[in-house]
Amino acid sequence: MDDALWEFVVGAGDHWGTTYGLPPVAGRVFGWLLVCDPPEQTADDLAEHLQASKGSISTATRILIGFQMIDRLRIRGERADRFRLKHGLWEQQLLDPGLDKTRALLTQGLDALADSPAPRSERLRELDLFYAWYAERSPQLVEEWREYRRTHLAAKQEQATGGRGV
Amino acid sequence: MDDALWEFVVGAGDHWGTTYGLPPVAGRVFGWLLVCDPPEQTADDLAEHLQASKGSISTATRILIGFQMIDRLRIRGERADRFRLKHGLWEQQLLDPGLDKTRALLTQGLDALADSPAPRSERLRELDLFYAWYAERSPQLVEEWREYRRTHLAAKQEQATGGRGV
DNA sequence: CTGAATGTTCAGTAATATCTGAAAATAATG
DNA sequence: CATTATTTTCAGATATTACTGAACATTCAG
């Protein structure tokens, strides 16, 4: 890949890597899977393009699968597995950005403050309410995004692919 | 603080620390500021409760201020600065979860793919559309949250504070 | 079943990040 | 202005994380 694309891959790896706490190579695998051709890459493809060892790639893919950011594919007639960005990743993220984990943490904090005067737990209570609101709201939000995409992306795809769709 | 609260502080520090790429002490400062009493703490308060050096606290507060997660306060009549969770933090996060930075990154990627066949940049274009949609949508979303809070948190505050409000 | 290709694990090493503590800088008080 | 409190900086020490590469395990084709 050329330098400009490499810069993007590293930058994207760093960006989403920071967000999810990924090691550098895992971030880059994710970044590369955003722009590679074809979108389904073998471990060897990844190791070659990202100049990383097989071991790192194995660890990175395991981590990314754990975060549900990529899928492992078994292609009929091919020996090697392939990896691909998880379909519906952004929608899923919109629907549930780790709500359960965060709310469990807040519950833990509220329990720890159970014997304290009420005002002390006000910050946590507001935050808990915020997450409760979001959990309630997000399914509808996903629908709104789908509708928006239907109208906006479809038009662009039309031009780009001659209407073949994706 | 007791063990249960300490566990929360560390867990919260780890949780938001992972999300923002914070060092451990910075995460804990943030965690502590979610539950401390009073909500405004001096550097000495922080160092003592979190058992960290003055130097670490100074670095941690600088980082958190940079992320706009906390504010530095100059209290009239007090020599030492105090730190406090930034007001409106969650709303601000809802309004703009790093949209500009992310979209700049996507533009960089799209530029790098400018000479490639259109299908290759489809993943980035959809993601860019996603962020465009969110940027358009989020101000209204903040209003919805405020309305929700008005109805739900107000009621709870009533019980907790006898209607004095906050 | 056998051999070859693929995938995983992990010990050892390298790289990075983080913290402490003390010195330097800054700010506030009288 | 001198003194003291507070804050920042940063060199050095420590701790943590991440990577490589080779051994081991697994899977697949014939």
A111 and A130 co-located in one domain: yes
Half-sphere exposure of B94 (CA within 13 A, CB side): 21
Kindly determine whether residue A149 and residue B161, on different chains, have CB atoms separated by under 8 Å.
Answer: no
Q: Please report the pLDDT score of residue B22 as a whole number.
A: 97
Kindly determine whether residue A152 and residue B129, on different chains, have CB atoms separated by under 8 Å.
Answer: yes
A150 in B contact zone (CB under 8 Å): no
d(CA A45, CA A126): 47
Q: Please report the pLDDT score of residue B166 as a whole number.
A: 34
B10 and B76 co-located in one domain: yes
In a domain, B166, yes or no: no
CB atoms within 10 A of CB B141: 17
Query: Could you tell me the CA-to-CA distances from A15 to A27, A68, A96, B99 in Å, in that order?
Result: 8, 17, 19, 12
The number of folded domains in chain A is 2
CA-based Rg of chain A, rounded to a whole angstrom?
A: 20
% of chain B exceeding 90 in pLDDT: 89
Q: Which of B85, B112, B136 is the last residue of a domain?
A: B85
Kindly determine whether residue A7 and residue B145, on different chains, have CB atoms separated by under 8 Å.
Answer: no
A66 and A103 co-located in one domain: no
In a domain, A113, yes or no: yes
A81 and A8 co-located in one domain: yes
Q: Which residues pair with A72 in a beta bridge?
A: A83
Instruction: Dump pLDDT digits (tens) for A17-75.
Output: 999 999 999 999 999 999 999 999 999 999 999 999 999 999 999 999 999 999 999 99
**Tokens in use for B137?**
């949508």
CATH of the domain at B71: 1.10.10.10
A102 and A124 co-located in one domain: yes
In a domain, A31, yes or no: yes
Strand ranges, E, within B69-157: 70-73, 82-85
Please list the ranges in chain B whose pLDDT falls under 70: 154-166
B31 and B73 co-located in one domain: yes
Quickly list H helices, A3-74.
3-20, 24-35, 43-50, 54-66
Q: Please report the pLDDT score of residue B63 as a whole number.
A: 97
DSSP state of A85: E
Contacts of B37 in chain A (CB under 8 A): 116-117, 120
Q: Which of A35, A69, A85 is the last residue of a domain?
A: A85
Q: Is the pLDDT of residue A11 over 70?
A: yes
A35 and A56 co-located in one domain: yes
Nearest residue to A43 (alpha-carbon basis) of A83, A86, A13: A83
Which of A122, A148, A161 shows the shortest C-beta gap to B118? A161
Nearest residue to B80 (alpha-carbon basis) of B103, B48, B112, B115: B48
Optimal mutation site among B130, B134, B142, interface A, most CBs of chain A within 10 A: B130
Q: Which domain holds residue A101?
A: 89-161
User: Which amino acid appears at position B113 of this protein?
Assistant: L
Q: Which of A42, A57, A85 is the last residue of a domain?
A: A85
**Tokens in use for A6?**
């490499």
d(CA B99, CA B103): 6
Q: What angle do CA B109, B111, A45 make, to 5 degrees?
A: 45
Look at phi and psi of residue B130 and say left if phi exceeds 0, alpha if psi is from -120 to 50, else beta.
alpha
Q: Is the pLDDT of residue A162 over 50?
A: no
3-state secondary structure of B42: strand
A29 and A57 co-located in one domain: yes
A72 and A95 co-located in one domain: no
**Tokens in use for B35?**
């539950």
**Tokens in use for B38?**
């009073």
The distance of Cα B158 from the centroid of its chain, to the nearest Å, equals: 27
- Quote the ipTM score: 0.90
Q: Which single residue has its CA nearest the C1' atom of nucleotide D18? A: A23
Q: Is the peptide bond before B23 cis (omega within 30 degrees of 0)?
A: no
Average pLDDT, chain A: 93
A12 and A35 co-located in one domain: yes
Query: Could you tell me the CA-to-CA distances from B128 to A33, A83, B68, B101 in Å, in that order?
Result: 16, 22, 25, 12
B40 and B106 co-located in one domain: no
In a domain, A39, yes or no: yes
Chain A residue with minimum CA distance to B121: A35
The set of residues, in sequence order, having a beta carbon less than 8 Å from that of B81 and lying 6+ positions away, is B42, B43, B72, B73, B74
d(CA B102, CA B123): 14
Instruction: Dump pLDDT digits (tens) for A95-146.
Output: 999 999 999 999 999 999 999 999 999 999 999 999 999 999 999 999 999 9
B80 and B114 co-located in one domain: no
In a domain, A166, yes or no: no
In a domain, B103, yes or no: yes
